[in-house]
Amino acid sequence: MRGMKSRSRKNKKASKRRSGGPSIQGPEQAEAMRAAGRLASEILDRVGEMVAPGVSTGAIDRLVDEITSARGARSAPYGYRGSGTTPFPGHCCTSINDVVCHGIPDDDRLLEDGDVVNVDVTPVLDGFHGDTSRTFVVGEASPIARRLVADTYECMRLGIQAVRPGGRVGDIGHAIQTFAEAQGYSVVREFTGHGIGEEFHTAPTILHYGAPNTGEVLRPGMTFTVEPMINLGHWKTEILDDGWTAVTVDGTLSAQFEHTVLVTEDGVEVFTLGKHEQPF
Ligand code: MF3
Ligand code: CO
Ligand code: CO
């Protein structure tokens, strides 16, 4: 028993990604990511019950922090530096309306009727990351906003459905871009999906646009996110002076959904499925 235990511990470390290569997980790592993903989706289920006009994004952040620490996990966004120098101050990202991603939770920003707000959480449980986001509609939003949110979910769904062993990363972006542009939207270019596992952001980069049958070949065990950001207007974004908040340059609405997925022997497994969500 003891021998098995120490061997399995070793395996957990031994099959870490090759430097610069994609995140590839063995069965044990996949199981740990399943648990992290389940926690991430449970946090968003709780956030969804809280979203309403008058609730601040700061209050959402505290709920995320509370659930995360109660489960013995930590929030990867908190203090994260990414490629910039300013550590992220929140436990999650809250991105409202023309904010594309990386919005900073704020006690002074109360959700208003008609807002669309994306909440993006990434708990680290037992050393593994689960990264997922949903865009919630606050109260009675306009038909255009509701349609954008529903179509952005469909973009993510189509992207995930394009994942299969032997397929290529370009298949994912192509599926997303084709649907998004057919609906008259644009696909954000500056932010992408990413490999994930014991590290937050690794290879491969998952573009949400592109050509089929191009890019890296997908292999069983690979874990990455699919997280399209879809704009009503132009795809271009800019970063506010806080060093994080990304907004659409033309001020138009943006929506996003994100799941963490595993390439399996015969398709794809979604680690971050929500309570009310149809299986893929
Ligand atoms: N969760 C985001 C992603 O999908 C990253 C957020 S980094 C932060 O990759 F620092 F802004 F939180
Ligand atoms: Co992500
Ligand atoms: Co995320």
Q: Which ligand 1 atom is the nearest neighbour of the CA of 81?
A: 10
Decide: 129 in ligand 1 pocket, CB within 6 A: no
pLDDT tens digit sequence for 98-124: 999 999 999 999 999 999 999 999 999
- Gap between the Cα atoms of 95 and 60, Å rounded: 12
Decide: 77 in ligand 1 pocket, CB within 6 A: yes
pLDDT tens digit sequence for 77-105: 999 998 888 999 999 999 999 999 999 99
Query: What residues does the ion ligand 3 have nearby, CB within 5 Å?
Result: 120, 131, 133, 258
Distance 52 CA to ligand 2 centre (A): 25
Q: Which ligand 1 atom is the nearest neighbour of the CA of 225?
A: 4
Say whether pTM exceeds 0.85: yes
Which of 13, 52, 55 shows the shortest CA–CA distance to 197?
A: 13
pLDDT tens digit sequence for 205-231: 999 999 999 999 999 999 999 999 999
- From the CA of 195, the nearest ligand is 2
Whole-number pLDDT of residue 7: 29
Is it the case that residue 71 has pLDDT exceeding 60? Answer: yes
Q: What is the spatial order of strands in the sheet that 93-96 belongs to?
A: 93-96, 116-121, 132-137
Distance 10 CA to ligand 2 centre (A): 27
Decide: 122 in ligand 1 pocket, CB within 6 A: yes
- Gap between the Cα atoms of 158 and 141, Å rounded: 25
φ/ψ of 132, rounded to 5, equals: -150, 150
pLDDT tens digit sequence for 16-33: 443 478 889 999 999 999
Atom 3 of ligand 1: nearest residue by CA position: 131
pLDDT tens digit sequence for 31-47: 999 999 999 999 999 99
| Token duo for residue 91 | 């436990």
Decide: 102 in ligand 1 pocket, CB within 6 A: yes
Query: What residues does the ion ligand 2 have nearby, CB within 5 Å?
Result: 131, 225
Decide: 130 in ligand 1 pocket, CB within 6 A: no
- From the CA of 80, the nearest ligand is 1
Decide: 61 in ligand 1 pocket, CB within 6 A: no
Decide: 17 in ligand 1 pocket, CB within 6 A: no
